[in-house]
């Protein structure tokens, strides 16, 4: 079966060790996490873990069912492509010199990224977007000399007025 | 009333109707033991020889009774010694509460003496676990742990309690025993679909396992088999749920299952899988497993659906509810050709039998002599399969054996626990390999005068591994020949039990009757040939048409 990328949002109780419980289940069941992001939610007692993973339909079902069995997990939802908004944040440091500066700036403009730090030798760029946009931007930056970069992993939310916690 | 954390632990267990716990004292549980001393008329503590034995005892207690088993151990090595026991319970979905002490909260993370992160260690082998940091949460955490362990698909839960939490004082408010979460009824649409599939099936086979035992579904399974004119077979975990006397019941299927049961499953056109997980030991090669058959899978745990085997209909929810509804809705079927075929398979199985096969004769003799409520416990290896194949079960929950984890050394602890859990006698089938792993627990059995008969099948080798070496490793017996000088009869007597020896079926029958009539523990050293094999056998990852039914050298 074809491997697809899935984004799964998990509401978990805001308790000691819960992230380990979730990630250790992936390891134990031999599934790979591509990206993982954790943060606060609209409810102080819950955190939201957003996991992106690659797998086939059966993998997805198995992961969702295994997640639902974890005691501290309150809600599991696969954020489907058609109704999901997916974003990642990228911070990237690239070499700065007079020969390439204008090309770098053109690229930043084209991708609607922004410069957040400037020094004689480097530019620090912030950009948000979906994974493919970030990947494309990084490829464009490569020839200019990437010094350092980091990205947050995907966070995702569904369109429309509902919360996945109550649906 | 204001009580210490340690007293709250004991009072909460009493309040939750826990009558017996198994354990071993140590530095970080002295306070709890002090309270067990104080409340010894309300709750019994069985002191094991080793925490592992205590954990298997709690497991055996749970399997033999259907209730939860409780084990208590100290921090560090006490806690890590529970790990195999907890994992055994996890793989077989046994409700178990493990309570461990830990160093005080201010000492946690400092590599203090006998400190171990036991919630971390047991994370992948517990249904859930807790580290209790506040005494105010202690009673409710224990209640919740019991509820989690017993609800839905059961499993072990560990509660780790730092020493200072045991010493802190707080208000204890007694509560009623927890009510386990009800299992939802199955969907009507699923019942309709299942009924349709059964109506068109000509060769139906019910494959049931541990979930059917948990649901107490045996009677209904027999009813369904009768009405749809089909047959039944069990995974190893399903044994004793349906009596062996039912002619529609073909016994254990799978790697070492009965010939008729495994072949009937391979030839069926409909498999109704009830409370099973399609273990690799039950299916062999999953891609070639009963490809002709339509499959219905009924289970409480939805993550089991399509995990190992893809099925045509998965039914989530209460097994009894499903069986009730399906039995009512199907018409009385007549699958004469199928029943004739099954009879032929049974005849073939009978013909394969070697009438002088000592392990089989010994198991059957023990099975004949014991009362139907006797608990049949095993360790892991050849003796386990022989017991599974040839012991005739009539009452439920009389089979206690480590299936998923296959834990050698399980038997002694489990046999002690099973006797406590059932209030009946235990018969342990073990081998010289398995028994030697935890034979220290014979001391426990003697101390508490546990009604236990041990049948030790002694062949001087690790028979199951040796069998694989014979069949698949060119008879290179690497480290499976036990060149030990252990005299098990003397050992039994040194520990305060009674020892017997037998070398033939006549001798065995004679000493078994004597041993079984004794009140306390007795051991029978039964000598068997080192080259005996467990047959039939479907090699790991093999298919049922490649089943091995006889020894190549015979």
**Fold match between A4-78 and A85-155?**
yes
- Is the pLDDT reported for residue B542 higher than 80? yes
Give yes or no: B171 in active site.
Answer: no
To the query of whether residue B464 is one of the catalytic residues in this protein, the response is: yes
pLDDT in tens, A67-98: 999 999 999 999 998 899 999 999 999 999 99
Give the pairing of strands B96-102 and B156-162. parallel
Query: Quick one: pLDDT at residue B551?
Result: 81
pLDDT tens by residue, B12-29? 999 999 999 999 999 999
CB contact under 8 A, B303 and A20: no
If one counts every other C-beta atom within 10 angstroms of the C-beta of residue A32, the result is 10
- Residues B418-445: pLDDT tens digits? 999 999 999 999 999 999 999 999 999 9
pLDDT in tens, B449-506: 999 999 999 999 999 999 999 999 999 999 999 999 999 999 999 999 999 999 999 9
* pLDDT for position B553: 62
Residue A20 at interface with chain B, using a CB cutoff of 8 Å: yes
Whether residue B120 and residue A20 make contact (CB cut-off 8 A), yes or no, is: yes
Fold that domain A4-78 belongs to in CATH: Alpha-Beta Plaits (3.30.70)
Q: Is the pLDDT of residue B554 over 80?
A: no
Measured between alpha carbons, how far is B455 from B398 in angstroms, rounded to an integer?
16
Backbone angles phi, psi at B247, to 5 degrees: -65, -20
- Active-site annotation holds for B289: no
Instruction: Let me know if B35 is exposed, middle or buried by CB neighbors in 10 A (0-12, 13-18, 19+).
Output: buried
**CA-based nearest residue to B274, from B194, B193, B206:** B206
pLDDT above 90: residue B388: yes
* Domain residue limits, chain A: 4-78, 85-155
What is the band of B540 on the pLDDT scale with cuts at 50, 70, 90? confident
ipTM of the complex model: 0.89
Neighbours of B401 (CB within 10 A): 26
Task: Name the percent of chain B lying above pLDDT 90.
Answer: 95
Query: Quick check: B127 pLDDT over 80?
Result: yes
Q: Is A66 on the interface with B (CB under 8 A)?
A: yes
Q: Say if B148 is an interface residue toward chain A (CB within 8 Å).
A: yes
Give the per-residue pLDDT at A152.
Answer: 95
Of residues A55 and B551, which shows the higher confidence score? Answer: A55
Domains and CATH numbers, chain B: 2-171 (3.40.50.970), 188-351 (3.40.50.1220), 358-538 (3.40.50.970)
> Could you confirm whether B163 is annotated as catalytic?
yes
Calculated CA dihedral for residues B507, B508, B511, B515, nearest 10 degrees? 170
| A65/B302 touch (CB, cutoff 8 Å), yes or no | yes
CB B416 within 8 A of CB B29: no
| Phi, psi dihedrals of residue A84, rounded to the nearest 5° | -105, 145
What is the rounded average pLDDT for all residues in chain B?
97
**Which residue among B150, B163, B294, B325 is the active-site one?**
B163
Class of A85-155 per CATH?
alpha beta
Please give the C-alpha separations between residue B322 and each of A145, B243, B314, B364, in angstroms, as whole numbers: 65, 21, 12, 35
Q: Are B91 and B404 in contact, with CB atoms under 8 Å apart?
A: yes
Dihedral sign for Cα atoms in the order B171, B177, B182, B183: positive
pLDDT band for position B201 (cuts 50, 70, 90): very high
The pLDDT confidence band at residue B188, using thresholds 50, 70 and 90, is: very high
CB contact under 8 A, B302 and A28: no
Whole-number Å distance between alpha carbons of A52 and A9? 9
Kindly report each contact of residues B138-141 with a partner whose C-beta sits within 8 Å and lies 24 or more positions away, as own/partner: B138/B5, B138/B8, B138/B9, B138/B12, B138/B165, B138/B170, B139/B8, B139/B11, B139/B12, B139/B172, B139/B173, B139/B175
């Amino acid at each position: 079966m074809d491997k697809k990328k899935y984004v799964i949002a998990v509401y978990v109780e805001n308790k000691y060790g819960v992230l380990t419980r979730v990630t250790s289940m992936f390891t134990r069941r031999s599934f790979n996490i591509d990206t993982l992001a954790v943060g606060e939610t609209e409810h102080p007692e819950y955190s939201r873990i957003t996991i992106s993973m690659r797998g086939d339909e059966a993998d997805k079902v198995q992961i969702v069912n295994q997640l639902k069995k974890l005691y501290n997990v309150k809600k599991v939802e696969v954020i489907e492509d058609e109704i999901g908004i997916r974003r990642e944040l990228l911070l990237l440091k690239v070499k700065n010199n007079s020969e390439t500066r204008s090309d770098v700036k053109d690229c930043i403009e084209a991708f609607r990224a922004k410069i957040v730090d400037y020094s004689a030798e480097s530019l620090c760029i912030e950009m948000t977007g979906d994974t493919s946009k970030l990947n494309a931007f990084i490829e464009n930056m490569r020839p200019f000399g990437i010094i350092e970069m980091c990205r947050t992993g995907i966070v995702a939310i569904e369109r429309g007025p509902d919360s996945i916690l109550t649906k | 009333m204001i009580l210490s954390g340690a007293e709250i632990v004991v009072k909460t267990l009493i309040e939750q109707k826990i009558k017996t716990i198994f354990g071993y004292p140590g530095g970080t549980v002295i306070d709890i033991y002090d309270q067990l001393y104080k409340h010894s008329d309300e709750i019994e503590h069985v002191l094991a020889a080793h925490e592992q034995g205590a954990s298997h005892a709690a497991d055996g207690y749970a399997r033999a009774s259907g209730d939860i088993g409780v084990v208590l151990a100290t921090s560090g090595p006490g806690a890590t010694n529970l790990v195999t026991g907890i994992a055994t319970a996890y793989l077989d979905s046994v409700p178990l509460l493990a309570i461990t002490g830990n160093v005080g909260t201010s000492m946690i993370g400092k590599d203090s003496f006998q400190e171990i992160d036991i919630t971390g260690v047991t994370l992948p082998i517990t249904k859930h676990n807790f580290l209790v940091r506040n005494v105010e949460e202690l009673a409710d955490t224990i209640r919740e742990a019991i509820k989690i362990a017993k609800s839905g698909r059961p499993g072990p839960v560990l509660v780790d309690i730092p020493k200072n939490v045991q010493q802190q004082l707080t208000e204890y408010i007694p509560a009623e025993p927890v009510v386990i979460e009800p299992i939802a009824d199955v969907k009507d649409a699923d019942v309709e679909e299942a009924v349709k599939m059964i109506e068109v099936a000509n060769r139906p086979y019910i494959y049931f396992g541990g979930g059917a035992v948990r649901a107490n579904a045996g009677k209904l399974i027999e009813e369904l088999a009768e009405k749809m004119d089909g047959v039944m077979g069990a995974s190893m975990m399903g044994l004793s749920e349906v009596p062996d006397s039912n002619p529609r019941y073909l016994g254990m299927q799978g790697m070492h299952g009965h010939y008729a049961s495994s072949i009937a499953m391979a030839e069926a056109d409909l498999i109704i899988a009830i409370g099973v997980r399609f273990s690799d030991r039950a299916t062999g090669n999953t891609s070639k497993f009963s490809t002709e058959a339509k499959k219905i899978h009924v289970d409480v745990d939805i993550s089991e659906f399509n995990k190992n085997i893809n099925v045509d209909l998965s039914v989530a929810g209460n097994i009894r509810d499903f069986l009730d509804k399906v039995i009512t809705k199907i018409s009385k079927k007549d699958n004469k050709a199928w029943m004739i075929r099954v009879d032929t398979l049974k005849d073939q199985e009978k013909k394969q039998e070697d009438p002088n096969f000592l392990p089989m004769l010994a198991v059957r003799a023990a099975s004949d002599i014991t009362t139907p409520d006797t608990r049949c416990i095993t360790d892991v290896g050849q003796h386990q399969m022989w017991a599974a194949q040839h012991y005739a079960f009539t009452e439920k929950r009389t089979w206690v054996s480590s299936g998923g984890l296959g834990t050698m050394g399980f038997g002694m602890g489990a046999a002690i626990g099973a006797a406590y859990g059932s209030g009946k006698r235990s018969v342990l089938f073990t081998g010289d390999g398995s028994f030697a792993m935890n034979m220290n627990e014979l001391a426990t059995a003697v101390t508490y005068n546990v009604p236990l008969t041990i049948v030790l099948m002694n062949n001087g080798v690790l028979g199951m591994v040796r069998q694989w070496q014979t069949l698949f490793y060119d008879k290179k017996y690497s480290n499976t020949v036990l060149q030990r000088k252990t005299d098990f009869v003397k050992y039994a007597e040194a520990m305060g039990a009674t020892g017997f020896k037998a070398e033939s079926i006549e001798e065995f029958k004679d000493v078994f009757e004597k041993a079984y009539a004794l009140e306390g523990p007795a051991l029978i050293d039964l000598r068997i040939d080192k080259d005996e094999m467990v047959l039939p056998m479907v090699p790991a990852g093999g298919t049922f048409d490649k089943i091995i039914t006889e020894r190549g050298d015979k």
